[in-house]
Amino acid sequence: MTDESRSLLKIATSLIALALFIGVNVFQACSQFSADSDSGLASVPQMRADASCRFIGVDIMQARLQNIFNIASGDVPVLDDYGNPTGQMRIASNLGTLGQAQNGLPADYSCSTPKLKVAVAVMVDACHIAVNDRVAETWLFPNGGADYSALYQSLIGRPPTADEISIIQSATSSMAGLQAEEAACAIVASSLEALIAI
Amino acid sequence: MKRMNRRDLITRAGFLLGGLQVSEMFKLDLLGKLARLAIPEANAAPSGPKRLLEICLRDGIPMIQFGAGKELASLANAQYSNFPNNSSNTIQGTGTDNLFFGPNSAVLAPYAANIAITQSIAHDGSGHSPMFNIRQGSSALQLTTPIITLANANPTSSIIPGVQWAGSLSGSEPNGRVVNRTNGQRDLVSISPTNPATDYINLFKKTRLTITDPELTTVLTAANQLSSKQAQILNDKLSQASSSARSFASATQLYSTDFTSFLQAYTDLPSGMNGSQDMVKPAACCGQPQGTYRDEAASIGLAMLGFKHNLINSAMVTVDLGDWHPVQTSTYSDRMTATISRTLADVIPFLQNTPDLALPGLTLWDTTLIVVSSEFTRAVTEFGSDNADGGTQGIMLIGQNVRGNYYGSFNTKGSGPAQAQGFDNNTGAPTGSTLNSTGDAYRTVRRLLGLSSSVGEAVQAFATMVRSG
> How many alpha carbons lie under 13 Å from residue B423 in its C-beta half-sphere?
26
Q: Cα separations (Å) of B367 from B29, B53, B250, B339, B417?
A: 27, 11, 21, 25, 39
pLDDT at B255: 77
Number of A to B CB contacts under 8 A, please give it.
246
Using alpha carbons, list the distances in angstroms from residue B156 to A139, B43, B153, B161, B358.
43, 16, 9, 9, 5
Q: Which residue of A has its CA nearest to B43?
A: A45
Residues of A in contact with B243 (CB under 8 A): 49-50, 53
Asked if B453's CB is within 8 angstroms of A187's CB, the reply is: no
**CA B29, CA A45: separation in Å to the nearest integer?**
13
pLDDT digits (tens, 9 = 90+) for B385-424: 877 776 789 999 999 999 999 999 999 887 888 999 999 9
Chain B residues with CB under 8 Å of A112 CB are: 160, 186, 189, 247
Q: At A9, give phi and psi (nearest 5°).
A: -60, -40
Contacts of A198 in chain B (CB under 8 A): 234, 237-238
Dist CA B160 CA A165 (whole Å): 31
d(CA A152, CA B436): 59
Q: Is the Cβ–Cβ distance between A172 and A180 less than 8 Å? A: yes
Query: What is the per-residue pLDDT for A63?
Result: 96
Q: What is the DSSP string of B319-351?
A: E--S-STTTTTSHHHHHHHHHHHHHHHHHHHHH
Phi, psi of B261 (to 5 degrees): -65, -30
Please, are residues B211 and A132 in contact by the beta-carbon 8 Å criterion?
A: no
Contact between B180 and B135 (Cβ < 8 Å): yes
The amino acid at B273: M
Strand partners, B382: B80
Distance of alpha carbon A13 from alpha carbon A7, whole angstroms: 10
Contacts of B261 in chain A (CB under 8 A): none
Residues of B in contact with A129 (CB under 8 A): 210
CB contact under 8 A, B160 and A114: yes
**Residues of chain B found within 8 Å of residue A191, distances taken between Cβ atoms:** 223, 226-227, 230, 248
Asked if B103 and B83 count as a contact pair (C-beta separation under 8 A), the reply is no
- CB crowding B240-250: b at 16 or more within 10 Å, else e: bbbbbbbbbbb
The closest alpha carbon to B309, from B372, B257, B247, B245, belongs to B257
pTM of the shown model: 0.77
Instruction: Name the CA dihedral angle for B181, B184, B188, B191, rounded to a multiple of 10 degrees.
Output: 90
Query: ipTM higher than 0.90?
Result: no
Question: Is the distance from CB of B199 to CB of B164 less than 8 angstroms?
Answer: no
Task: Name the percent of chain B in helix, strand, coil, to the closest 5.
Answer: 40, 15, 45
Please judge whether A36 and B143 are an interchain contact, meaning their C-beta atoms are less than 8 angstroms apart. yes
pLDDT digits (tens, 9 = 90+) for A106-147: 788 878 888 888 999 999 999 999 999 999 999 999 999 999
Question: Is the CB of B150 inside 8 Å of chain A's CB atoms?
Answer: no
Domain boundaries, chain A: 3-197
Cβ within 8 Å of B, A 152-191: 161, 163-164, 167-168, 170-172, 179, 182-183, 186-188, 190-191
Q: How far is it, in rounded angstroms, from Cα B309 to Cα B290?
A: 31
Q: Which amino acid is at B207?
A: T
Per-residue CA distances from A5 to A9, A10, B196 (Å): 6, 8, 59
Q: B166 with B175: CB under 8 angstroms?
A: yes
Return the closest-CA partner of residue A36 out of B395, B151, B442: B442
pLDDT in tens, chain B (469 residues): 344 443 334 334 433 444 444 444 444 444 444 444 444 333 444 456 799 999 998 888 899 999 999 999 999 999 888 888 999 999 999 999 999 999 999 999 999 999 999 999 998 876 777 788 899 999 899 999 999 999 988 888 888 899 998 765 454 455 567 889 988 888 898 887 778 888 899 899 888 888 988 899 899 999 989 988 888 887 766 656 666 666 677 777 777 778 899 998 888 999 999 887 666 666 666 555 555 667 788 899 999 999 999 999 999 998 877 777 777 777 788 888 999 999 999 999 999 999 999 888 999 999 999 999 988 887 888 888 877 776 789 999 999 999 999 999 999 887 888 999 999 999 999 999 999 999 999 999 999 999 976 777 777 899 999 997 5
- From residue B342, alpha-carbon distances to B186, B277, B335, B355, B358 in Å are 32, 9, 10, 22, 27
Is B310 within 8 Å of chain A by CB?
no
Strand pairing of B91-92 and B115-121? Answer: unpaired
Any chain B CB within 8 A of the CB of A101?
Answer: no
Of A50, A96, A108, the CB nearest to B247: A50
CA pair distance B72, B329, nearest whole angstrom: 17
Interface probe for A, chosen from B3, B15, B21, B37 (most Cβ of A below 10 Å), is B37
CB-CB under 8 Å, A113 with B189: yes
DSSP string, B49-112: --EEEEEEE-TT--GGGT-B-HHHHT-SS--BTTB---TTT-EEPTT-SS-EE-TTTGGGGGGG
Q: What is residue B381's predicted lDDT score, i.e. its pLDDT?
A: 84
The two beta strands, B115-121 and B393-398, are antiparallel
Contact A108 B187 (CB under 8 A): yes
pLDDT at res. B206: 84
Please report the pLDDT score of residue B24 as a whole number: 42
> Which residues of chain A, if any, have pLDDT below 50?
8, 11, 13-51
Chain B contact set for A31 (CB, 8 A): none
Element (H, E) at A121: helix A113-131
**Cα B314 to Cα B163: distance, rounded to the nearest angstrom:** 7
> C-alpha angle A156/A161/A164, rounded to 5°?
80
